[in-house]
Amino acid sequence: MAYEFRSSINKTCCKAAVYPKDHWGSFHPHQCNLKIWKDGWCKIHHPDIEHERHQKREEESKKWLENSPSMKLIRAKERIDKLVGAMLTLADGCEAAEADCKEEVIRSFLGRCADALRNAAKEGGEE
């Protein structure tokens, strides 16, 4: 957010206070010397434009973060946790099964594990 330049303002220029990058002036604000675009601000310092720029930058950094290796790792870990959780639930059911239907239960357990693995592999391959 640009600050308004307060002292001896030139009404034909943008009212933003800017800090020149040169060595000595860096702590002394100057008035922006660009011409007024709207509401006394130039196209760079108008609050609407600054807000828009800020949003855009935030979106870009969000996108960047989502595609970053650490986020991919986090998502992969989430998938693995889900998978392990599902398998443990199945394994519990398998253990609790009656002796005479155990083989059937184990077979279906293995089938569902294979499905879960296939699905996980598919999800992981989307990126």
SS3 10: coil
Minimum CB distance to Zn ion smaller for 25 or for 124: 25
- Selected binder of Zn ion within 5, 17, 31, 45 (CB under 5 A): 45
Part in contact with Zn ion (CB under 5 A); list of ranges 32-40, 63-71, 84-92, 110-118: 32-40
Instruction: Report if residue 36 touches Zn ion, rule: CB under 5 A.
Output: no
Instruction: Report if residue 17 touches Zn ion, rule: CB under 5 A.
Output: no
For residues 105 and 97, is the Cβ–Cβ distance under 8 A? yes
**What one-character DSSP code corresponds to residue 35?**
B
DSSP letters for 81-99: HHHHHHHHHHHHHHHHS-G
Instruction: Report if residue 16 touches Zn ion, rule: CB under 5 A.
Output: yes
Instruction: Report if residue 90 touches Zn ion, rule: CB under 5 A.
Output: no
Q: Quote the CA–CA distance of 44 and 67 in Å, as a whole number.
A: 30
Chain residues in the site for Zn ion (CB under 5 A): 14, 16, 32, 34, 42, 45
